[in-house]
Amino acid sequence: MKDLEALVHELGKLPSIGEKTALRLALHILRQPEEYGKRIAAALNDTIGRVHFCDTCQNLATASLCSICNNPSRDASLVCVVEDIADLQAIERSNSFNGRYHVLHGALSPIDGIGPNELKIGELKKRLETQDPEEQVHEIILATNSNVNGDATAVYLSQIIRAYPIKLTKLASGIPVGGHLEFTDQQTLAQAINRRLEF
């Protein structure tokens, strides 16, 4: 109990890990060979300080710019705004986007106390204000998630970005590839019908 308190306390501060889960994790770690927990500690110490967020787009980076912002073959005139790095990684895996990103690190959620200042929105404004004339942003894709918070964030951003001569787009919505109509929710079906394309 007291012997474990510090570890349980630290683990319990992680998101969605309460005191009981923290105790369970701590006990699990103690039941393993010593090097198991030592490796976690080493990975933490090694990552912190070395990995941080890209000065431009807030993606993971080990230098001041991330590998995408640093890549001259990526189109700097096209910026995709995503909520999280996991979203960025999903888009990268699709191999269908050659622009750059801006990671908000969350979505507006008044109920959780997350307002514009908690997100990397100031960094996006600054990025648009201090554009390199040779790398002007011409189009921004608002690729926030398709839910209440994501939609609210997109609307909020659109109001800011309209001050600039930039084309605003969003991801297409419709039936997922491989999805069954039977199991598709009403709203998605409605959007898929309303925005039907020529065959």
Residues 6+ apart with CB under 8 A from 31: none
Both structure tokens of 168: 């605003």
- 7: how many CB neighbours lie within 10 A of its CB? 17
Task: Lay out the site mask for a copy of itself across 3-42 (x = CB under 8 A, - = otherwise).
Answer: xx-xx-xxx-xxxxx--xx-xxxxxxxxx--x-xxxxxxx
CB of 124 within 8 A of CB of 116? no
CA distance linking residue 149 with residue 167, whole number of Å:
22
| Shorter beta-carbon distance to a copy of itself: residue 52 or 170 | 52
- The Cα–Cα gap between 59 and 46 comes to 18
Q: Would you count residue 50 as binding a copy of itself (CB under 8 A)?
A: yes
Closer Cβ to a copy of itself, 45 or 169, answer by number = 45
Sole binder of a copy of itself in the list 55, 74, 91, 105 (CB under 8 A): 105
CB nearer a copy of itself, residue 85 or residue 152: 85
Q: Are 162 and 168 in contact (CB under 8 A)?
A: yes
Nearer to a copy of itself, 46 or 112 (CB): 46
Rounded CA-CA distance 61/63 in Å is 5
Q: How many chain residues are in contact with a copy of itself, going by CB under 8 A?
A: 51
Name the 3-class secondary structure at 76: strand
41 vs 189 by CB, closer to a copy of itself: 41
CA distances to 59, 101, 116 from 126, rounded to whole Å, are: 16, 14, 14
Alpha helix (H) residue ranges in 32-59? 34-47
Q: Name which of residues 71 to 100 contact a copy of itself (CB under 8 A).
A: 84-86, 89
45 binds a copy of itself (CB under 8 A): yes
Among 49, 110, 165, 178, binds a copy of itself (CB under 8 A): 49
The answer to whether 190 contacts a copy of itself (rule: CB under 8 A) is no
Instruction: Examine residue 162 and tell whether it contacts a copy of itself (CB under 8 A).
Output: no
Amino acid at 50: R
**Contact status: 113 vs a copy of itself (CB under 8 A):** no
Residues in touch with a copy of itself (CB under 8 A): 1, 3-4, 6-7, 9-11, 13-17, 20-21, 23-31, 34, 36-53, 60-62, 84-86, 89, 105
